[in-house]
Amino acid sequence: DTAVSQTPKYLVTQMGNDKSIKCEQNLGHDTMYWYKQDSKKFLKIMFSYNNKELIINETVPNRFSPKSPDKAHLNLHINSLELGDSAVYFCASSQANFRDSLLPQYFGPGTRLTVT
Amino acid sequence: GIQVEQSPPDLILQEGANSTLRCNFSDSVNNLQWFHQNPWGQLINLFYIPSGTKQNGRLSATTVATERYSLLYISSSQTTDSGVYFCAVLPLDSNNDMRFGAGTRLTVKP
What is the structure's pLDDT at B90?
A: 84
Count of A–B CB contacts within 8 Å? 64
Q: CATH number, domain at A80?
A: 2.60.40.10
Q: Output the CA–CA distances (angstroms, integers) from residue B73 to A49, A100, B22, B93, in the order listed.
A: 33, 29, 9, 29
DSSP at A40: T
Domain count, chain B: 1
SS3 A85: helix
Q: CATH number, domain at B30?
A: 2.60.40.10
Nearest to B51 by CA among B78, B31, B26, B34: B31
Q: Higher confidence at residue A55 or residue B53?
A: B53
What is the structure's pLDDT at B30?
A: 84
Q: Do the Cβ atoms of A105 and B45 come within 8 Å?
A: yes
Q: Higher confidence at residue B5 or residue B44?
A: B5
What is the structure's pLDDT at A98?
A: 38
What is the structure's pLDDT at A102?
A: 56
Whether residue A97 has pLDDT greater than 80: no
Domain count, chain A: 1
Count of C-beta atoms within a 10 Å radius of residue A15: 11
Interface of chain B toward chain A, CB-CB under 8 angstroms:
30-31, 33, 35, 37, 41-45, 48, 50, 84, 86, 88, 90, 95-100, 102-103, 105
Parent domain of A62: 4-115
Q: Residue A52 in contact with residue A74, Cβ under 8 Å? A: no
Q: What is the mean pLDDT of residues A104-116?
A: 91
Whether residue B51 has pLDDT greater than 60: yes
- Convert the pLDDT of each residue in A46-88 to its tens digit: 888 887 677 767 678 889 999 988 889 999 999 999 999 999 9
Nearest to B68 by CA among B101, B103, B105: B101
Parent domain of B96: 4-109
